[in-house]
Chain A
């Protein structure tokens, strides 16, 4: 499955979270020659050269963690390392290598003496030993960890050049090289459009830019794209990963939640270019601001995005502690770039983060009025929450969004032994404060989340600006200047361009305007250079850390899907709103779901819902949208700041066979065939629309040959052409509702708990597919159809709907017979071989005669269908006169809704609907699908 060379710990050098670039040249396990680049190799830097070696190999036993410290020695502090130790020899004698115990132990051959000991499975390379030796000889000076020193403005020469290029060039020149030449305009605009809006440019936009010979042409494109509302959608997509945003709660029940107004708040904030300090303060403490606006309270949903358990039997103290811990770790990673998860149980082994700091931070987050209730059902929001609509849609739907709300008094907080919620160490009480290594709390700020947020954005915090600009750099250039975007501690990577990082951080701090920061990045020559690999740099800089060419980037999962929709013309652009459910293969939710979960059955949306941008696709934690997972989007169970692009056969299958992608190919073919022109002109147009460039004559010959071949093939097999064109609901909108009925309040139920309402009779046409659904299908759950397990039904207070598993209709089956139990007469409807949901046990994946039954005894039929099911009528029509719902609770209906939908399949002859022959359209569809699968389609050059 993998093209990666698999590796064990011993050659960690290949891991994506490897050392910084400098280390790569010096201590690479990859076998590259040691080449000194721009950095002056005559000067050792403790932070860059020595600290990573000590941290990696020594700190686990001789570092900040007092509990696991060996021989009383710590090597993370100069004072201690230089001090005499018991046997009379100092670990380090500055300037005297031979007298330093550290050196003697490193070069020892006696297995009892050698450091690091064999049991750690760590060894120092010769290059590393040489560095240590040289460092001791030169005085063994320690420095504070670079990231904990406030960024200072780096000097740049006066002039009108972009400062980024100054720093990038400086190091390239050190490698006797320079930036690549500027990329062609088509590629540049495509690159820029994806980076700022997540979508490719149209052919018209490409033409306009290519022909715009006036000065400032590129600037105008940058401004146009920064001003586009798509900008917020693109930026928010990254933020949702960090913020572990989901539309379901995770854990066992994975209940649906209505947090999406917060998602819209994020989109809006990026579009309004809200300063990042305000963005930070509102999300961490909007509720504590004086006269907080509803939207500021909404912002704090950031802290409530954590997974929530309502599993029966879970204990409140345990889970409330878990949620607070999640907030510590999320805030630590997002706003400080520090991994706090380790010091939950013990002092950090590498960074100066004692366990106490963890709980001092946790104390900010554990005193809200939040409650944990096991078995607390299926509510879409738990207290505290606000009722609010989307900031993007005035007068839109109002839903409950979980937010923060501070309790009257802070809860007493203690260090927890081994991080266990029920093991407070009462000798170690903590009070709220930022991590001690980063200095005192902000003077005059309150000792609550607001005070923490104000400290985070203050100059006292050396990390926020660096961590944030580094993440944006990663978005634009594929990886961070600090490659370990989630770890700025001593175990993290050293920046490839430290002065540039600090320059950007200091600039950003001035206004915290993200658009300004991105403008600076994308207008640089570094950004605008060509992406072709550089043979002259391949050897010294195989990973392109020096940025001698623009790094080709695989598009994100969202961009791949959105671009296919966009280029085919299907994309429906509408900002914000409730999540939607586009195509996904049947059964993915129900095969994993817990009974009673409100995300038990996936019911596909229709019409516009199929074609919205991917950021609006319903995200279910226990079963994320498959296209997203396959293309490396995280599950969002915790904070995630980087996606590692992979290259797998499952991705190939997805973009080749996913119904959504095939429908895009079909509609792209229709779009292309509506253009005037010769076949070759049309091929050029299609190709350019998707890839942003014109095909070469060789490319064109290949595609043209394929087209001819497909045309001949479908001429001889028109039925195959018609079958292919059935992918996706286009030109229909998915389904046609035949009838919908509300079961009135307190309708009497029959002995089996069904309540009915008469409907205007509808005829279900033979050999046609229908679908049965409720207005809020998430309120329904399918249990075992045998009826053996009907124990988990729940109500959805949002719609005051008694949950139901089955809907029924009554009609007149035309054939009667006995089923195997001899009890029911069998009608002539059949489930299709693969119903849209259900597990194997509930409905065997074969034709199933059980569905249309007429039971004269207790009226337990004839259309006993699980909500959400797609079924196909047999070979005769059926007339339906009543529809009913099952009252699972047996308490009488409050209200219920059910309806019958016909699933519109494009009939054979779709081509004729748009004035094109089926065979011609199918041929073009396969060409379009091929182009949609090209490497350059899913990559940014």
Chain B
């Protein structure tokens, strides 16, 4: 046992004795003590409501809203409707954004991209060639073609998908899971966020998307950033050696421990432990971001961008490395899908960024036996319109926001592989069968993690809040293993 732990143990023994003498519980009892005595043993997956199928989540959020019509929702029949007006019967009373509300016509723009039929466990899956490698993984994917949301603008829509509510301030999904399930890795954060940007039109991100809302602050996501300081303030300043840092922490522990005896305050012991974890993170994080232990073939699998910190490829490989280390919730954001002006120009570039790395991630997880216990989710905040925004020509079109119908995919822990769920209408405008709300998706994700979404609640302002809101939400049992 190292001297620090020895010392803390002694304090605790003394305190326990003192406490016993006073005829009660030791002053320094409780979780912090338990953790210290067990040498900082991390909490085990604490209490699930039922056996979880997935131990962790990798959420590949495509921010800006990918066009479902040009990627996963193949509508060959639309060819005949080129430049025809969207039938009023299809459009219904759907509200438009301010961006196309003023357009005199809503002409249909069939996808210009070629689709390929990939075998899966049903009758196959048509995927745009822009996502060819992803398509090749069809046997592992569960594609949902019947997602819908209530939000039509980016900021509320992304917030809705990530926190279950359109206004900022609620805890994000990762924070809920961190709160509900605790941590399994004592050297890394529980909930990690990584951002990459694509080449299309960019929309903002907000730190509230990974915030803890009214949950205790330690459940907020920790952003891993590109560059040499992946976690804020991780690096010691130039000129400081590890031995210097160790010496400082030893002094701190010594003085703090003495103070803990005087004040009888558990929080001081917990603080000593937090400083020790910070010290461990200074080693574990660089270890995480150092790809030198990856084989050449693995690196090649993820593609040429994998060595560029901050790229989607880099983040995908990071995600796998975090999965191996039991980070609970690994959230990626890839920006740049907001293709109002030109789907035809921007979407291929955007897909090029993500296709190879995300397919590689699935393969890599699979070959390491991690896919079964890792739930991977891919999707944006809404879909895009079948009708053209701006000028429509045989070679070019743009698409506006569309909340009523879009496609996402899931794979891995707890999800049936190789299937398609739900369907959109012939215009990819309305849901034809099995609508899935964002809250249903949340309930499904929680279910895979062993949590009944109705029972993961937190009291704030007199109400028991939950991720899935007040309206009825249900896990999609048809896609669960």
A17 touches B25 (CB 8 A): no
B239 touches A722 (CB 8 A): yes
Chain A positions near chain B (C-beta within 8 angstroms): 1-10, 12, 15-18, 121, 250-254, 307, 309, 311-315, 322, 333, 339, 341-342, 345, 350-351, 374-375, 422, 484, 486-487, 489-492, 531-533, 535-536, 538-539, 542, 552, 554, 585, 587, 591-595, 597, 621-624, 626, 629-630, 632, 635, 637-638, 644, 646-654, 656-658, 662, 696, 698-699, 702-703, 706, 709-710, 713, 719-727, 784, 788-789, 791, 833-834, 839-841, 844-845, 922, 926, 929-930, 933-936, 939, 941
Of the candidates B205, B262, B458, which one forms a contact with A532 in the assembled complex, judged by CB atoms under 8 Å apart?
B262
Could you tell me the distance between the alpha carbons of A935 and B251 in the complex, rounded to whole angstroms?
Answer: 12
B308 touches A840 (CB 8 A): yes
Give the chain A neighbours of B260 by CB distance below 8 A: 935
A17 touches B182 (CB 8 A): no
What are 28 of the A-B contact pairs (CB < 8 Å)? Answer: A1-B178, A2-B219, A3-B31, A121-B454, A491-B459, A492-B462, A538-B25, A538-B27, A592-B195, A621-B168, A621-B206, A622-B206, A623-B207, A629-B220, A646-B217, A647-B274, A649-B275, A652-B278, A699-B258, A703-B251, A710-B244, A722-B239, A724-B237, A840-B226, A840-B309, A841-B311, A845-B227, A936-B256
Could you tell me the distance between the alpha carbons of A3 and B267 in the complex, rounded to whole angstroms?
Answer: 10
B270 at the interface (CB under 8 A from A): yes
A313 touches B153 (CB 8 A): yes
B304 at the interface (CB under 8 A from A): no
Could you tell me the distance between the alpha carbons of A926 and B241 in the complex, rounded to whole angstroms?
Answer: 11
B196 at the interface (CB under 8 A from A): yes
Task: Decide: A644 near B197, CB < 8 A? Known: A339-B463, A535-B19, A652-B275.
Answer: no
Min CB distance A817 to B, Å, is 24
Of the candidates B233, B263, B310, B463, which one forms a contact with A654 in the assembled complex, judged by CB atoms under 8 Å apart?
B233
Of the candidates B204, B236, B464, which one forms a contact with A593 in the assembled complex, judged by CB atoms under 8 Å apart?
B204
Task: Decide: A930 near B248, CB < 8 A? Known: A648-B217, A724-B240.
Answer: yes
CB-CB nearest 3 A-B residue pairs: A840-B310, A723-B239, A533-B264
Of the candidates A9, A594, A624, which one forms a contact with B204 in the assembled complex, judged by CB atoms under 8 Å apart?
A594
B263 touches A533 (CB 8 A): yes
Could you tell me the distance between the alpha carbons of A539 and B256 in the complex, rounded to whole angstroms?
Answer: 25
A592 touches B462 (CB 8 A): no
B455 at the interface (CB under 8 A from A): yes
A789 touches B201 (CB 8 A): yes
A491 touches B462 (CB 8 A): yes
Min CB distance B167 to A, Å, is 7
A653 touches B227 (CB 8 A): no
Which partner residue on chain B sits nearest A17 by CB separation? B459
B167 touches A936 (CB 8 A): no
Give the chain A neighbours of B219 by CB distance below 8 A: 1-2
Give the chain B neighbours of A531 by CB distance below 8 A: 263
Task: Decide: A491 near B232, CB < 8 A? Known: A2-B218, A313-B99.
Answer: no
**Segment of B41-49, B103-111, B418-426 engaged in the interface with chain A:** B41-49
Could you tell me the distance between the alpha carbons of A137 and B154 in the complex, rounded to whole angstroms?
Answer: 57
Give the chain A neighbours of B46 by CB distance below 8 A: 5-8
Which partner residue on chain B sits nearest A791 by CB separation? B201
Min CB distance B336 to A, Å, is 9
B153 touches A309 (CB 8 A): yes
Of the candidates A1, A309, A533, A721, which one forms a contact with B218 in the assembled complex, judged by CB atoms under 8 Å apart?
A1
B72 at the interface (CB under 8 A from A): no
Which of chain B's residues 245-265 have a Cβ closer than 8 Å to chain A? Answer: 245, 247-248, 251-252, 254-256, 258-260, 262-265
Give the chain A neighbours of B168 by CB distance below 8 A: 250, 307, 621, 635, 637-638
Q: Most chain-B CB neighbours within 10 Å: which of A1, A5, A710?
A: A1
A342 touches B463 (CB 8 A): yes
B296 at the interface (CB under 8 A from A): no
B155 at the interface (CB under 8 A from A): yes
Min CB distance A69 to B, Å, is 16
Give the chain A neighbours of B309 by CB distance below 8 A: 840, 845
B208 touches A637 (CB 8 A): yes
Residues 159-178 of chain B: 1 if any A CB is under 8 Å from the residue's CB, otherwise 0?
00000000111000000001
Which partner residue on chain B sits nearest A492 by CB separation? B462
Of the candidates A2, A252, A621, A713, which one forms a contact with B183 in the assembled complex, judged by CB atoms under 8 Å apart?
A2
B78 at the interface (CB under 8 A from A): no
Of the candidates B32, B198, B258, B400, which one forms a contact with A3 in the assembled complex, judged by CB atoms under 8 Å apart?
B32
Majority secondary structure of chain A interface residues (helix, strand, loop or mixed): loop
Give the chain B neighbours of A250 by CB distance below 8 A: 168, 206
Which partner residue on chain A sits nearest B96 by CB separation? A313
Task: Decide: A839 near B281, CB < 8 A? Known: A702-B254, A724-B239.
Answer: no
Which partner residue on chain B sits nearest A629 by CB separation? B207
B242 at the interface (CB under 8 A from A): no
Task: Decide: A552 near B267, CB < 8 A? Known: A339-B463, A653-B231, A935-B259.
Answer: yes
A253 touches B204 (CB 8 A): yes
A374 touches B199 (CB 8 A): no
Of the candidates A8, A725, A922, A934, which one forms a contact with B455 in the assembled complex, judged by CB atoms under 8 Å apart?
A8
Give the chain B neighbours of A834 by CB distance below 8 A: 227-228
Residues 333-346 of chain B: 1 if any A CB is under 8 Å from the residue's CB, otherwise 0?
00000000000000
Task: Decide: A657 near B234, CB < 8 A? Known: A647-B274, A929-B248.
Answer: yes
B352 at the interface (CB under 8 A from A): no
Which partner residue on chain A sits nearest B345 by CB separation? A788
Give the chain B neighbours of A844 by CB distance below 8 A: 308
Give the chain A neighbours of B401 by CB distance below 8 A: 313
Give the chain B neighbours of A313 by CB distance below 8 A: 97-99, 152-153, 400-401
Could you tell me the distance between the alpha carbons of A758 and B86 in the complex, rounded to whole angstroms?
Answer: 57
Which partner residue on chain B sits nearest A696 by CB separation? B258
Which partner residue on chain B sits nearest A12 by CB separation? B459
Min CB distance B171 to A, Å, is 12
B18 at the interface (CB under 8 A from A): yes
Task: Decide: A345 near B470, CB < 8 A? Known: A4-B218, A8-B180, A311-B155.
Answer: yes
A702 touches B169 (CB 8 A): no
B277 at the interface (CB under 8 A from A): yes
B476 at the interface (CB under 8 A from A): no
Which partner residue on chain A sits nearest B243 by CB separation? A713
A647 touches B247 (CB 8 A): no
Could you tell me the distance between the alpha carbons of A61 and B235 in the complex, rounded to whole angstroms?
Answer: 54
B196 touches A840 (CB 8 A): yes
Min CB distance B359 to A, Å, is 21
Which partner residue on chain A sits nearest B280 by CB separation? A649
Task: Decide: A926 near B35, CB < 8 A? Known: A8-B455, A491-B462.
Answer: no
Given A250-B206, A933-B275, 12 more A-B residue pairs with CB atoms under 8 Å apart are A8-B46, A339-B461, A532-B264, A535-B27, A587-B225, A597-B204, A622-B204, A635-B169, A699-B258, A713-B244, A720-B240, A935-B259
Could you tell me the distance between the alpha carbons of A839 and B204 in the complex, rounded to whole angstroms?
Answer: 13
B183 touches A591 (CB 8 A): no
Min CB distance A355 to B, Å, is 13
B68 at the interface (CB under 8 A from A): no
Min CB distance A58 to B, Å, is 14
Give the chain B neighbours of A585 by CB distance below 8 A: 229, 232-233
B238 at the interface (CB under 8 A from A): yes
B232 touches A650 (CB 8 A): yes
B395 at the interface (CB under 8 A from A): no
Which partner residue on chain A sits nearest B277 by CB separation? A649
B204 touches A592 (CB 8 A): yes
Could you tell me the distance between the alpha carbons of A607 and B95 in the complex, rounded to whole angstroms?
Answer: 52
A333 touches B19 (CB 8 A): no
Could you tell me the distance between the alpha carbons of A350 and B167 in the complex, rounded to whole angstroms?
Answer: 23
Give the chain A neighbours of B462 by CB distance below 8 A: 339, 342, 350-351, 484, 487, 489-492
Could you tell me the distance between the alpha carbons of A351 and B463 in the complex, rounded to whole angstroms?
Answer: 11
Which partner residue on chain B sits nearest A593 by CB separation? B204
B181 at the interface (CB under 8 A from A): yes
B225 touches A626 (CB 8 A): no
Min CB distance A643 to B, Å, is 8
Give the chain A neighbours of B190 by CB distance below 8 A: 1-2
B456 at the interface (CB under 8 A from A): yes
Min CB distance A598 to B, Å, is 12
Q: Most chain-B CB neighbours within 10 Å: which of A2, A5, A487, A791?
A: A2
